Structure 1
Amino acid sequence: MSNDKKQSGLARVLGSASAGILEISVFHPVDTISKRLMSNHTKITSASHLNSVIFREHAAEAFSKRIFTLFPGLGYAAVYKILQRVYKYGGQPFANEFLNKNFKADFDSAFGDKTGKALRSATAGSLIGIGEVVLLPLDVLKIKRQTNPEAFRGRGFIKILKDEGFGLYRGWGWTAARNAPGSFALFGGNAFAKEYILGLKDYSEATWSQNFVSSIVGASASLIVSAPLDVIKTRIQNRNFDNPESGFKIVQNTLKNEGITAFFKGLTPKLLTTGPKLVFSFALAQTFIPMFDKLVNKQ
């Protein structure tokens, strides 16, 4: 079985960056809602309570005003999301090519040609997901802007970097632990759908509709697998800078005060909101990268 067609590095950067820009343009308010629900420690019992969790001190204002309160941290979010998508969607094919070059025979002999190919894609995604912790400071600042703006106390970006230093990497271990299975499931589910549902030989030849279907499978698997660790990661990151509560302490307190179901808080809205966001960007990236590759090769 031949490997997929290779695209140029420039095409991968342009395609994944374009997907990131469109994603942040459409879905930033949805991401804010999801993060605030995950950060909420109480059981939501009414529509008014839900309104106060999402809009906070602006809950009593007119909806036309409330909606604009869902855009905090947009600058951090834009930089983070574009870099993240370029790294993740543009980097995974390089990791996949490395595995194809060096370990293809091992995967194929252990799992068979078709499953081996899909598992190489999943493994490449997992490796890239672990390395994503490099971008953690931008994710931390974005989440704090969305859920705990008081943590900034009037400080700007440069001042925070100077004051906090490597403290911005707090929770990096939990982030890596969340990204590894999450990215494995994302790229693995996507690859298995293309392999076994759509019957594609070359994944890069998928149409927009095929990329959309396979992205739904991958995104749903990723969100479900990573949900518990995502709750822990968010609660670590949304605290004040001077409150470095450990992830294990958060797990202990969460189990004690809220029960095991708390680790799946926000999963339903994530599947309904973050799911489409991930499907949207992933499908676009997979469509844009081959498109830009053809444009670049015409020059």
Structure 2
Amino acid sequence: MSSKTGGRGFGREAVQQILAGGSAGLIEICLMHPLDVVKTRFQIQRGSADPNNYKSLGDSFLKIYHTERLFGFYKGILPPILVETPKRAVKFFAFEQYKKLLGYVSLSPGLAFAVAGLGSGLTEAIVVNPFEVVKVGLQANRDTSAKQPTTLNYARHIIKTKGLGLQGLNKGLTATLGRHGIFNMVYFGFYFNVKNIIPVNKDPTLEFWRKFGIGLLSGITASVINIPFDVAKSRIQGPQPVPGEIKYITCFKTMATIYQEEGLASQDYEAWTRWCGDAFGL
């Protein structure tokens, strides 16, 4: 009897976590996708001499609107919408399960939250990477013609020409693992540790702002730390500098190449656009 009750409790908990994470993720992606498009465009552009390059956050919004209109801000939105609910569901469900497993190991609560976050991020990355490959390819397309590739057609093109492996629909998997693993490790570790330090406020409004502020700070911190992985992912999954010649192959080699050729300044704009999208993730 108790085992049945435990099974029902586990199932109910899983459904609640999946629904909560999935619905929150869907709302977030609909609101934040324009910033994600801008982020991707900044990450894949190279060289300051190109007149088509975006020079600032405001300049990018103006150029996209003037050349591609509102549609330009929502290029590639279908892949994240399709994956966002299962992605959030996997993230929060895996985090809770890893946290329970770590309860059997003598780790401090702070370290346990960080390790559980790392595990949930790595699990999440495996699910989302094929969708990221399609999304980045669609977002990188600046073509203003009416005939834009559909999500399904573009995915079929990748599978037909490159396959399902690390050169095809799972291109950039290592960088995606690093991006999601590092982000979730820092985010969950920082969030739960700081939340336990700052006392709960009895006033519902002040308590909301307490959680909001901690979530915002957690998102900013995690995003700034994982930006190199995010930039590397976009470079690997996006168009290569010279057609037919693969320059960005592996995660850490891509980071080294970007640093040698462009330094750290090339990632300044990603810091602003990335944290805007991720800081409100909870």
Query: Is TM more than 0.5 here?
Result: yes
What residue is the counterpart of 1:128 in the other structure?
A: 120
Shift of the 122–66 alpha-carbon distance from structure 1 to 2, 3 Å rule, reads same
TM-score (norm 1): 0.73
Q: 1:185 to 1:168 in 2, by over 3 A?
A: same
Kept in 2, the 8 Å contact 1:129–1:180? The answer is: yes
1:122–1:191 Cα contact (<8 Å) kept:
no
> Is the 1:73–1:142 contact (alpha carbons within 8 Å) kept by the matching residues of 2?
yes
Give runs of aligned pairs for residues 202-217 of structure 1, distance below 5 A.
Answer: 208-217=208-217
Q: 1:261 aligns with which of 262, 265, 269?
A: 265
| Corresponding residue for residue 79 of structure 1 | 82
Residue 28 (structure 1) shift = 1.0
SS in 2 for 1:186: helix
- Whole-Å separation in 1 of the counterparts to 2:62 and 2:249: 28
Structure 1 residues 12 and 153, CA gap change in structure 2 (3 angstroms): closer
**Counterpart for residue 197 of structure 1:** 198
Which amino acid is the alignment partner of residue 239 of structure 2?
Answer: R
Aligned AA (1:227): I
- Which of the residues 158, 161, 165 maps onto 1:160? 158
CA distance in 2, matches of 1:74, 1:207: 33
Please give the secondary structure, in 2, of the residue aligned with 1:266: helix
How far apart are residue 15 of structure 1 and its match?
0.5
1:26: which partner in 2?
A: 31
Structure 2 residue aligned with 1:184? 185
Q: 1:9 aligns with which of 7, 14, 34?
A: 14
Map Cα deviations across residues 249-299 of structure 1 (whole Å, 9 max, x no partner).
Answer: 43343233212333445112323x22xxx33331xxxxxxxxxxxxxxxxx
Aligned equivalents of 2:54, 2:176: Cα separation in 1: 32
Cα 1:268–1:74, aligned 2, differ >3 Å: closer, same or farther? closer
Alignment of 1:229-244 (within 5 A): 229-239=229-239, 244=246
> Which residue of structure 2 aligns with residue 174 of structure 1?
175
In structure 2, the partner of 1:89 is 92
Measured at CA, do residues 249 and 54 of structure 1 come closer, stay the same or move farther in structure 2, by a change above 3 Å?
farther
CA distance in 2 between partners of 1:215 and 1:48 (Å): 30
Count of residues in Structure 1 that have an aligned counterpart in Structure 2: 253
Residues of 1 paired with 2:160 and 2:138: CA distance? Answer: 18
Distance 1:149 1:195 in 2: 46
**Structure 1 residues 49, 184: closer, same or farther in 2, change over 3 A?**
closer
> Residue 280 of structure 1 aligns to a residue in which SS?
coil
Shift of 1:18: 0.8
Alignment correspondent of 1:144: 137
Counterpart Cα distance in 2 of 1:211 and 1:156: 40
**Percent identity at matched positions?**
20
Contact 2:40 2:136 in 1 (8 A): yes
Gaps of 5+ in 1: 1-5, 108-115, 201-205, 283-299
The residue number in structure 2 matching 1:224 is 224
2: distance between equivalents of 1:23 and 1:182?
17
Larger relative helix fraction? 1
* Residue 158 of structure 1: how far off its partner (Å): 3.6
**Could you say if the C-alpha distance between residues 182 and 253 of structure 1 is closer, same or farther in structure 2, counting changes exceeding 3 Å?**
same
Q: Mapping of 1:246-285 within 5 angstroms?
A: 246-247=249-250, 248-271=252-275, 273-274=276-277, 278-282=278-282
Unaligned runs of 5+ in 2: 1-9
Tell me how far apart the structure 2 counterparts of residues 48 and 177 of structure 1 sit (CA, whole Å). Answer: 27
Q: What residue number does 2:6 align with?
A: none
TM-score (norm 2): 0.77
